[in-house]
Amino acid sequence: MRWFGLPIYDARLFAPAGFDALELARHAFVLELTYRRALRGRDIARRSIEEMRRAPSFPEDRAGRWESELAAVLPDVQPGDRIAGVHTPGGGAAFIVNGRRAGEIADAQFARLFFGIWLAPHTSEPGLRAALLGSAQR
């Protein structure tokens, strides 16, 4: 992922055979980001909510709570730091930072919209989505 040509992070998706990005809620999977620059956790949380708002079903009344929960889980990052988001169908999203569990947001709607930042058709980065999903995905 690049922003104005600057590398921000590398992304990898670990998903089972038969994974369907149009039905994220059905699948267990892991999305891992390896950061290539220093960023503040609260800025990552704020930007995540901005990206989640691209979804047509975003519940604006939950934005503040979700941003606070994300800011509490996501640390400031340095180049080389890894944050993995673990999606559990019906259970939400757990976050692992550099191999250690950092926390969880146990809200299935949050998880669907959060992972949709990268995997939903309305993503702001369709090239990254295509690379994560491979050419066989919709």
Give per-residue pLDDT as tens, 59-85.
999 999 999 999 999 999 999 999 999
Q: Using an 8 Å Cβ cutoff, are 100 and 106 in contact?
A: no
The CATH number of the structural domain formed by 2-130 is: 3.50.70.10
100 strand-pairing partners = 97
What is the spatial distance between Cα 19 and Cα 107, in angstroms, rounded to a whole number? 21
Q: Using an 8 Å Cβ cutoff, are 21 and 133 in contact?
A: yes
pTM equals 0.92
Q: Which residues of the chain have pLDDT under 50?
A: 1-2, 4, 135-136, 138
Domain ranges in the chain?
A: 2-130
